[in-house]
Amino acid sequence: MKKNVWNQYKEEDISFLNRICDDYREFLSISKTERETVYHSISLLEKKGFRSLDDYIENNQSLQAGDKIYVNNRGKALALFVIGDEDITKGMNILGAHIDSPRLDLKATPLYEEKGFAYLDTHYYGGIKKYQWVTLPLALHGVVAFKNGEVLPICIGEDEKDPVFGITDLLPHLGKEQLKKEAEKVIEGEGLDLLIGSQPMNEEEDAVKKHILSILKEKYQMDEDDFLSAEIEVVPAGRARDFGLDRSMIMGYGQDDKVCAYTSLRAFLDVDRCARTTSCILVDKEEIGSVGATGMESSFYENAIHEICALLGYMEPTAVSRCLSHSYMLSSDVNAAYDPLYSDVMDERNASFFNQGVVFCKYTGSRGKSGSNDASAEFLAKIRNVMDSEKIAFQISELGKVDAGGGGTIAYVLANRNVNVVDCGVGVLSMHAPWEVTAKADIFEAYKCYVAFLKQMR
């Protein structure tokens, strides 16, 4: 095993580490959805002098070295650029993370009453263990879009004065048959309905549901039909917290992949201008295959590069393909950290460990590398050189034993555009659970890694 990086830190290193992790914990607490992440990221960007690409296009304003640009894709994904001194067609240094996380989504017609209880019907999003989502305090985050064009943000369950919601479970005294089921079916998808009320408005039929509708109307101007144009996510209620008596870890919802999204964004903002153009991508829909207009499979990123090349004076149709083919990217995504309680699914020689640094994963996918990006030896050699020159702690890992399972990231999408890309992120315990755990030292090393990559990768 490699050395624990805590033993290498000086007092000033630990002070900087704590500042980074305190800021991350706050960001994680207020950015539980992709929309919230975009909103809070833009507030940080604009403080640093970033302007929307739309501003440049509308004013027919050319770009020059040092300009800072962001592209907001439907409030759910961001593409960021700082124009470098070199020709952009010689390539960029790119960091890319996803900002969606496993959760429950409300169905289009969610509200119903059953035996004096009001419920919201849900559909789970991404890979979850459904039994983990019962008997937890849950919150509602999202938006309601009204026919008049108004869009109302919704956040209920985070303030101490807010109510919370939950999914009930069967008491063990009556759970004999339930406990005989396989874990996958102990709680099934159609059983993940959110209990939201029990007080009737009057003696009429569906009086509890009517009471809930009256509250929605009073507080949010919502009618029942407005659920049809709402995007409301059910997530764990509560803030991210320090974890462990030594406060060496962080527990919070959505660390897959906001731990990499935050450190990538923070590094991108701290680096500022480089010789090569730098870019940071924060995208939606990775947990369900990177599909849709706001996922990495969308053309929005390439479209943004087309616009930027045009504003830089590169009008030839090959400019974007040349730019991408000469670019380097770290697909900033988490890895499954070694857990001694579940060592049977891990290959210890090829696993990532807490407190041993940022994790590179040469290939993801599952069984026979299916669905993976497989980074080249030459690219990894360049990466190793940068990491060693900056004395950054790193490790190489696979996602468990060969036939134990597997997973994917956005790496293959950019690789399909001929970008040199490798997965690089933070090890996580209890990945995809409502509350995940990361190590502060690994968060710090990831941040340092991303800074070094942006500055030095050539």
pLDDT at 389: 94
**How do beta strands 277-283 and 92-98 pair?**
parallel
Q: Rounded to whole angstroms, how far apart are CA atoms 242 and 387?
A: 28
Nearest to 260 by CA among 410, 35, 406, 74: 410
pLDDT at 364: 73
What would the mean pLDDT of 20-48 be, rounded to a whole number?
97
pLDDT tops 70 at residue 368: no
Q: Rounded to whole angstroms, how far apart are CA atoms 331 and 420?
A: 10
pLDDT tops 80 at residue 406: no
Whether a cis peptide bond, with omega within 30° of 0, leads into 13 is no
Residue 366 in contact with residue 405, Cβ under 8 Å? Answer: yes
- pLDDT tens sequence across 287-304: 999 999 999 999 999 999
Q: Which segments of the chain belong to CATH 2.30.250.10? A: 103-236
Q: Which residues pair with 68 in a beta bridge?
A: 82
pLDDT at 1: 64
pLDDT band (50, 70, 90) for residue 365 = low
Residue 409 in contact with residue 333, Cβ under 8 Å? Answer: yes
- Determine phi and psi for 156, rounding to 5 degrees: -130, 120
Proportion of the chain above pLDDT 90, given as a percent: 87
Q: Which segments of the chain belong to CATH 3.40.630.10? A: 5-101+253-456
What tokens appear for 342 in the block? 């579940």
pLDDT tops 70 at residue 367: no
pLDDT band (50, 70, 90) for residue 240 = very high
Report the greatest alpha carbon distance in the chain.
74
- pLDDT tens sequence across 180-230: 999 999 999 999 999 999 999 888 889 999 999 999 999 999 999 999 999
pLDDT at 401: 72
pLDDT band (50, 70, 90) for residue 369 = low
Residue 436 in contact with residue 426, Cβ under 8 Å? Answer: no
Output the CA torsion sign for 153, 157, 163, 166: positive
Secondary structure of the chain as H, E, C letters: CCCCHHHHCCHHHHHHHHHHHHHHHHHHHHCCCHHHHHHHHHHHHHHCCCEEHHHHHHCCCCCCCCCEEEEEECCCEEEEEECCCCCHHHCEEEEEEECCCCEEEEEEEEEEEECCEEEEEEEEECCCCHHHHCCCCEEEEEEEECCCCCEEEEEECCCCCCCCEECCCCCHHHCCCHHHCCHHHHCCHHHCCEEEECCCCCCCCCHHHHHHHHHHHHHHCCCHHHHHHEEEEEEECCCCEEECCCCCEEEECCHHHHHHHHHHHHHHHHHCCCCCEEEEEEECCHHHCCCCCCCCCCCHHHHHHHHHHHHCCCCCCCHHHHHHHCCEEEECCCEEECCHHHHHHCCHHHCECCCCCEEEECECEECCCECCCECCHHHHHHHHHHHHHCCCCEEECCCCCCCCCEECCCHHHHHCCCCEEEEEECEEECCCCCCEEEEHHHHHHHHHHHHHHHHHCC
Helix axes 440-456, 255-271, angle to 10 degrees: 40
- pLDDT tens sequence across 112-161: 999 999 999 999 999 999 999 999 999 999 999 999 999 999 999 999 99
What would the mean pLDDT of 4-26 be, rounded to a whole number?
96
Q: Which residues pair with 114 in a beta bridge?
A: 117
Nearest to 255 by CA among 138, 127, 100: 100
Residue 314 in contact with residue 88, Cβ under 8 Å? Answer: yes
Summary mean pLDDT of the chain = 94
Could you tell me how many residues make up the chain? 458
- Determine phi and psi for 455, rounding to 5 degrees: -75, -40
What would the mean pLDDT of 38-47 be, rounded to a whole number?
96
Q: How distant is the alpha carbon of residue 254 from its chain centre? A: 7
Evaluate whether the domain defined by 5-101+253-456 bears CATH number 3.40.630.10. yes
pLDDT band (50, 70, 90) for residue 432 = very high
pLDDT at 34: 97
- pLDDT tens sequence across 84-118: 999 999 999 999 999 999 999 999 999 999 999 99
pLDDT tops 80 at residue 266: yes
pLDDT tops 80 at residue 408: no
Q: What is the CATH number of domain 103-236?
A: 2.30.250.10
- Determine phi and psi for 210, rounding to 5 degrees: -65, -35
Q: Rounded to whole angstroms, how far apart are CA atoms 185 and 222?
A: 35
Determine how many CB atoms are found less than 10 A away from the CB of residue 105.
16
